[in-house]
A and B are shown apart, each in its own frame.
Chain A
Amino acid sequence: MPEGPLSYPFSAVFGMEAAKDAIRCAICSPGIRTVLIRGPSGSAKTVLCRSVEGLSGRRVVNIPPGADMERLFGSMDMERLLDTGEARLEKGLVAEAEGGLAFVDDVNLMDERTSIALLDAVVTGTIRTERDGISEVSSADVVLIATMNPDEREMSDHLLDRFDICVSVSPAEDSDARREIASRRMRFEDSRADFCESFEEKQSEERKAMEDAARIVPLVSVSDELRLIVSEMCDKVGAEGVRGDIAVINTSIALAALDRRDSVTRSDVERAAAMCLVHRRRYIPEPPPEPPENEEEPPEDREDQKDQEEPPRDEEGSQEEPPEDREDQREQNAEMSLPNIDDMMFEVGRQFRVIDYLGKGKKAVKPSSSRKGRRSEQECAGTSGRQVSARIPDGKTRDIAFGATMRAAALSQKGRERGSMRIVVEDSDIREKVRRARTGCTVMFLVDASGSIGARRRMSAVKGAVLSMLKDSYVKRDKVGLMVFRRSSAEVILPPTRSVEYGYKLLEDIPTGGRTPLSAAMTTASDYMTAYSRSHPGERCYIVLMTDGRSNVPYVEGADPNKEARELAEDLDVPGIQWIVVNTGNGFRMVDSASELASHLGALYFNLEELDADALASSVRAAARL
């Protein structure tokens, strides 16, 4: 049993059955090693995770999202080195959790390489350390429970796939539940002991059930028929590889065992699928949805919604439009005398060599020392970033590279007055860490895919331009993301990634049509990138807004959409994010809304055609001849 103050009992956590099931499965089955709980802040996911210690009786090690590789996997044991002269590994957090659980709050805020290394260690059950003079392979028998707040930053599919189970939680909404949760919490805080006591019976039932389940798990059988169903299901939702298949089977086995059965049923599989496949779901381009044999075929072929058990939250994105909107749209269409422009797809138009649009223009960002090649990896000052090597410091340093310092000192021990000490370190031995972080660029493309742009057949040209810029990023190794806005909202199609090819595939399939919610789009993009830049300190963030600058859906009902967009733009000119407006309009208009918008955003501004380096060059040449 844990010592220290009593934590909130698992059994006293109200609701959140899906998350509780996930945790139960992970505790009773050795096949489930990683669980992710997604939910907005205030949804008690942390409370739930912390309650696991009291439930499982196993050690729970807390891993902060800021932990670096050394902290996770260990580094040289300084004390021992100084004491005995032996170079040994000091255990990291993962090793400390051996045989127990590790808990990571806000795993999505962790440095990506670090989180991949962490998940790999847990999934393969092996820690491989090759750092700071230490080489070691050790076992990692750990269950990892992680939480994330999807409002902050999304994780890559690649990382998500390493979670056996992923469930979403949301704060309880009905007032009875809220009352109950609040009063339990109050009782707990007033007198932890009494409160825990009152749940002790339930807790011990729960513990007993789990111990029993752990014994039953190895005895549970899964019929071949169900195995086949699982694989069909996984293929249908587009889960890549077989990690999903394995997770569904292991979870169904755990669920059956928790229910004291020794064989898996169809309903176990369905429940398991809801826990294991939602985060592995992929958008499959041509869905020929045959009528499902079973009505409750759990996951549907949709990428957007993540919640399965809970009712959808107040996300406007990608939901059906409200009827009034549709009416407006008819009006709109009539106005443009284009009856049927909804959801048209345009091919990717001409591509070209792109000018250095991030650096040009009137409000250039701080120039970097080297403009050549990739812009993404830079040495960084301060103590963030990963250590990549060590060097002799220029003056005093506070970021001492211990291993390197000791190695330097060890070389010059001869002739030093050592006295009773193992090693004498002098100033000249001190080495400091060289750290590196991805301080490169992240470029979010915010593309107007509304009807107005489709109507003018400009979408092909726009896609061509976006693709050209994507290619440019590919060469320069920026991260790129893609958001598209139309109808009533903006949608993140591609979270920032270094895989540009993937962006291209998605770009091809963007449908065009509907109205232009410019204000909403700018707000969504700004919020997204603000959160993103917060979790990627040092990274330069750009939003490339591709628009003709005209809006026809206001954020606030009844407002003048264009005026609103301009006013909003003023507020969105925030530090940390550089806007770039690319005018996709034809330039026939008297009032250039896009350039006006750009000036309010403090943005760099280009006409679509200006991005073409060759065209620009030729126009410069033409101008020079005159």
Chain B
Amino acid sequence: MSRVSTVFPFVDIVGQEEMKRALILNVVDPGIGGVLLKGEKGTAKSTSVRSLGGVLPSRKRVKGCRFGCDPNDKDSMCESCRSLLAGPGIEIEEAPMEVVELPLGATEDRVAGTIDIEHALKTGEKRFEPGVLARANGNLLYIDEGNLLEDHIVDMLLDSAAMGVNYVEREGISFSHPSRFVLVGTMNPEEGDLRPQLLDRFGLSVDIKGEHDPKTRAEIVRRRLEFDDAPERYAASRSEETEKLRSRIAEASARVRSISVGPEVVDAVVSITSHFGIDGHRADIVMIKAARANAAFEGRDRIISDDLVAVAELVLPHRMRRRPFEDSSIDREELERCLKDL
């Protein structure tokens, strides 16, 4: 069972800095809207996402709530929390965020949740049995091979992601509960493309390239094999660094909303996005949030141009007007010139 529970230490993933940064920023501020990891086979995409579970900070939630309602978000609470709130009040507990996986073969009833059949048979009562979208609330929802997911499952994810609520109307059940999650998806571009609606949902996107330097490759392999030999021991040997990173992320996420976003930052962001011809306001907002999260993670209390440079590559390329067969990437020099003008 150890294979199921122990994850490779996030701090020991070789290279792939952009991917790691994108994941961390989303944990620091879930409002960024998730990240899509695109790339070749075997480039540690899945490993990194699962590893992230080892450095996630804890969060507050209503104790005993089956949907992990956020005590600070009273508007989107589930029915039972609301009635508690109106009556005896809620208890709050701290629980670590987790990575919730949505497997390829998942069926509708398990994703949305449906009637609890056992309960119905035993008591004759209708009760809603939470599904993946309930478990994902307040957590990371990980879809591996996003492009292979069934369309109607993708539609459910999109609805929840857009509204932060999962509305269930099926099999004689009518129910809703909060479902706010950081959507993390991986895909292999060779296997086909993601639907544009889904693509647009992701706040950040990272193009992952394989490692070609033999020394680095050998190092990746060495660590991996050492881990496979004795996962717990390996993870324990990195526990100090892991703990350090976890508290750095936790501090950043506690501070992120206190970092002010001055008009000069907004100006800079808007001029960058319009320079690169990006429509819509989503990019502006995501870029501001990502830059702010980056500043928080770097321990700063204000956003500087380095933050914008650091996140531009994560925010812009997948939003650039692009025809199916053109590569999109950001010219770093162009970006820096753009920032210098400000």
* Interface residues contributed by chain A, number (CB under 8 Å): 78
Asked whether, in the complex, the Cβ of B324 is within 8 Å of the Cβ of A132, the reply is no
Listed A/B pairs (21) with beta-carbon separation below 8 Å = A81-B121, A114-B105, A129-B105, A130-B103, A130-B107, A133-B129, A137-B4, A139-B1, A157-B190, A241-B40, A241-B41, A246-B225, A403-B117, A406-B117, A407-B117, A414-B124, A422-B121, A467-B325, A471-B325, A497-B190, A502-B190
Asked whether, in the complex, the Cβ of A413 is within 8 Å of the Cβ of B221, the reply is no
Residue of B3, B41, B108, B150 with highest tally of chain A CB at under 10 A: B41
Contacts of A498 in B (CB 8 A): 147, 191-193
Asked if B88 lies at the interface with its beta carbon under 8 angstroms from chain A, I say: no
Asked if A576 lies at the interface with its beta carbon under 8 angstroms from chain B, I say: no
Residue of A31, A135, A156 with highest tally of chain B CB at under 10 A: A135
Q: How far is the CA of A234 from the CA of B190 in the complex (A)?
A: 20
- Chain A contacts to B: CB under 8 angstroms: 31, 69, 73, 81, 85-87, 113-114, 116-117, 120, 124-126, 128-135, 137-139, 141, 156-158, 161, 218, 224, 227-228, 230-232, 234-235, 240-246, 249-250, 377, 386-389, 403-404, 406-408, 410-411, 413-414, 422-423, 436, 467, 471, 474-475, 477, 497-502, 504
Q: How far is the CA of A499 from the CA of B108 in the complex (A)?
A: 26
Contacts of B171 in A (CB 8 A): 404, 407-408, 411
Q: How far is the CA of A450 from the CA of B220 in the complex (A)?
A: 45
Q: Which of B29-37, B69-77, B78-86, B209-217 contacts A (4 or more CB under 8 A)?
A: B209-217
Nearest residue, chain B, Cβ from A132: B107
Q: A242-B220, A249-B225, A411-B172 are in contact. Are A388 and B325 (CB under 8 A)?
A: no
Q: How far is the CA of A158 from the CA of B104 in the complex (A)?
A: 15
Q: How far is the CA of A218 from the CA of B44 in the complex (A)?
A: 24
State how many angstroms separate the Cβ of A118 from the closest Cβ of chain B: 10
Nearest residue, chain B, Cβ from A413: B124
Q: How far is the CA of A410 from the CA of B221 in the complex (A)?
A: 52
State how many angstroms separate the Cβ of B225 from the closest Cβ of chain A: 6
Contacts of A230 in B (CB 8 A): 218, 221
Asked whether, in the complex, the Cβ of B325 is within 8 Å of the Cβ of A240, the reply is no
Nearest residue, chain A, Cβ from B126: A411
* Interface residues contributed by chain B, number (CB under 8 Å): 63
Interface string of B241-254 (1 = CB under 8 A from A): 00000000000000
- Chain B contacts to A: CB under 8 angstroms: 1, 3-4, 40-44, 46, 101-111, 114-115, 117-118, 120-122, 124, 126, 129, 131-132, 144-145, 147-148, 150-152, 171-172, 188-193, 210-212, 214-215, 217-218, 220-222, 224-225, 228-229, 324-325
Asked whether, in the complex, the Cβ of B191 is within 8 Å of the Cβ of A158, the reply is yes
Q: How far is the CA of A410 from the CA of B190 in the complex (A)?
A: 44
Q: How far is the CA of A386 from the CA of B158 in the complex (A)?
A: 22
Asked whether, in the complex, the Cβ of A240 is within 8 Å of the Cβ of B106, the reply is no
Asked whether, in the complex, the Cβ of A133 is within 8 Å of the Cβ of B221, the reply is no
Asked whether, in the complex, the Cβ of B325 is within 8 Å of the Cβ of A241, the reply is no
State how many angstroms separate the Cβ of B334 from the closest Cβ of chain A: 24
Asked whether, in the complex, the Cβ of B104 is within 8 Å of the Cβ of A133, the reply is no
State how many angstroms separate the Cβ of B88 from the closest Cβ of chain A: 30
Asked whether, in the complex, the Cβ of A117 is within 8 Å of the Cβ of B104, the reply is yes
Asked whether, in the complex, the Cβ of A245 is within 8 Å of the Cβ of B218, the reply is yes
Q: How far is the CA of A151 from the CA of B229 in the complex (A)?
A: 38
| Given contact pairs A113-B104, A388-B107, a sample of 11 additional A-B residue pairs in the complex whose CB atoms are under 8 Å apart | A69-B105, A129-B105, A131-B105, A133-B117, A137-B4, A232-B214, A242-B224, A388-B150, A403-B117, A497-B190, A497-B191
* Contact with A87, one of B117, B151, B229 (Cβ below 8 angstroms): B117
Q: A132-B109, A139-B4 are in contact. Are A241 and B192 (CB under 8 A)?
A: no
State how many angstroms separate the Cβ of B153 from the closest Cβ of chain A: 8
Contacts of A436 in B (CB 8 A): 150
Count of A-B residue pairs with CB < 8 Å? 199
Asked whether, in the complex, the Cβ of A501 is within 8 Å of the Cβ of B42, the reply is no
Q: How far is the CA of A158 from the CA of B193 in the complex (A)?
A: 14
Asked whether, in the complex, the Cβ of B121 is within 8 Å of the Cβ of A227, the reply is no
Q: How far is the CA of A501 from the CA of B4 in the complex (A)?
A: 36
Contacts of B106 in A (CB 8 A): 130-131
Asked whether, in the complex, the Cβ of A161 is within 8 Å of the Cβ of B41, the reply is yes
Contacts of A422 in B (CB 8 A): 121
Contacts of A377 in B (CB 8 A): 151
Asked whether, in the complex, the Cβ of B107 is within 8 Å of the Cβ of A31, the reply is no
Q: How far is the CA of A243 from the CA of B217 in the complex (A)?
A: 10
Asked whether, in the complex, the Cβ of B172 is within 8 Å of the Cβ of A408, the reply is yes
Asked whether, in the complex, the Cβ of A499 is within 8 Å of the Cβ of B193, the reply is yes
Asked whether, in the complex, the Cβ of B325 is within 8 Å of the Cβ of A504, the reply is yes
Asked whether, in the complex, the Cβ of A497 is within 8 Å of the Cβ of B172, the reply is no
Asked whether, in the complex, the Cβ of B120 is within 8 Å of the Cβ of A411, the reply is yes
Asked whether, in the complex, the Cβ of A423 is within 8 Å of the Cβ of B225, the reply is no
* Contact with B4, one of A126, A131, A241, A502 (Cβ below 8 angstroms): A126
Asked whether, in the complex, the Cβ of B148 is within 8 Å of the Cβ of A31, the reply is no
Q: How far is the CA of A138 from the CA of B210 in the complex (A)?
A: 30
Contacts of B191 in A (CB 8 A): 156, 158, 497-499
Asked whether, in the complex, the Cβ of B108 is within 8 Å of the Cβ of A388, the reply is yes
Nearest residue, chain A, Cβ from B46: A124
Q: A31-B228, A388-B150, A474-B193 are in contact. Are A245 and B217 (CB under 8 A)?
A: yes
Q: A141-B3, A158-B191 are in contact. Are A117 and B41 (CB under 8 A)?
A: no
Nearest residue, chain B, Cβ from A218: B229
Contacts of A413 in B (CB 8 A): 120-121, 124
State how many angstroms separate the Cβ of B198 from the closest Cβ of chain A: 13
Q: How far is the CA of A389 from the CA of B152 in the complex (A)?
A: 9
Asked whether, in the complex, the Cβ of A158 is within 8 Å of the Cβ of B229, the reply is no
Q: How far is the CA of A244 from the CA of B220 in the complex (A)?
A: 12
Q: A242-B211, A410-B120 are in contact. Are A156 and B190 (CB under 8 A)?
A: yes
Contacts of B144 in A (CB 8 A): 120
State how many angstroms separate the Cβ of B206 from the closest Cβ of chain A: 15
State how many angstroms separate the Cβ of A250 from the closest Cβ of chain B: 7
Contacts of A158 in B (CB 8 A): 41, 188, 190-191
Q: How far is the CA of A244 from the CA of B211 in the complex (A)?
A: 12
State how many angstroms separate the Cβ of B287 from the closest Cβ of chain A: 26
State how many angstroms separate the Cβ of A402 from the closest Cβ of chain B: 11
Q: How far is the CA of A69 from the CA of B107 in the complex (A)?
A: 10
Nearest residue, chain B, Cβ from A415: B124
Contacts of A129 in B (CB 8 A): 103, 105
Asked whether, in the complex, the Cβ of B215 is within 8 Å of the Cβ of A500, the reply is no
Asked whether, in the complex, the Cβ of B121 is within 8 Å of the Cβ of A423, the reply is yes
Contacts of B129 in A (CB 8 A): 133
Residue of B121, B129, B152, B228 with highest tally of chain A CB at under 10 A: B121
